């Protein structure tokens, strides 16, 4: 049964999940962080395997194939959002991959990169008007 996700404010089957199938992607903060942790895998057109083993990336007798275009689309969308953040977007990816505490600018980049739709507002203007709460 879906529960309320405190991050994207939707009914979600994947609250506190460690893995997301393509149909669950709504670009909420946990999903953006999940992508950034293994961004190169997605950029290569591969989807991360389900740690529970219920879905496999490579088709096998017991596996379900996730087409490469899902991974490529996810990578393209988040990479565009990240480039709009400039060096702060790269800093966020670096901090995620090294499992470091996020800097204040990284929290703002994460807020800008998250959300169902791509923001039309320039990142510099977003930063100036937005107070981002740490950890939300």
Q: CA 68, CA 6: separation in Å to the nearest integer? A: 30
Residue 136 above 80 pLDDT? no
Of residues 11 and 76, the one with the higher pLDDT is 76
What mean pLDDT comes out for the span 96-107? 95
Closest CA to 114 of 54, 12, 35: 35
The residues facing 11 across adjacent strands are: 4
DSSP state at residue 103: P
Instruction: Please give the average per-residue pLDDT across 2-6, as a whole number.
Output: 52
Domain boundary assignment for the chain: 24-129
Distance (Å) of CA 99 to CA 61, 92, 102, 132: 35, 10, 9, 20
- The CA distance from 92 to 110, in Å, is 7
Q: Which band of pLDDT confidence, cut at 50, 70 and 90, is reported for residue 49?
A: confident
Average of pLDDT values for 65-80? 90
Q: Which residues pair with 4 in a beta bridge?
A: 11
Cα–Cα distance measured from residue 136 to residue 125, given in angstroms and rounded to the nearest whole number: 20
Which pLDDT does position 13 carry in this prediction?
Answer: 67
- The larger pLDDT score, comparing residue 90 to residue 18, is at 90
Q: What per-residue confidence (pLDDT) applies to 132?
A: 60
């Amino acid at each position: 049964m879906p529960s309320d996700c405190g991050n994207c404010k939707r009914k979600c089957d994947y609250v506190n999940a460690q893995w997301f199938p393509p149909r669950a992607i709504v670009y909420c903060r946990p999903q953006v962080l999940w992508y950034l942790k293994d961004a190169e895998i997605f950029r290569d057109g591969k989807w991360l395997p389900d740690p529970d083993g219920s879905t496999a990336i490579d088709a096998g007798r017991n596996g379900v194939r996730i087409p490469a275009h899902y991974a490529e689309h996810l990578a393209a969308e988040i990479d565009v959002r990240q480039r709009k953040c400039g060096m702060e977007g790269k800093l966020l990816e670096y901090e995620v991959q090294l499992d470091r505490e996020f800097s204040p600018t990284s929290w703002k980049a994460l807020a800008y990169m998250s959300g169902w739709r791509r923001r039309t507002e320039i990142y510099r203007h977003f930063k100036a008007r937005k107070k981002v709460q740490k950890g939300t």
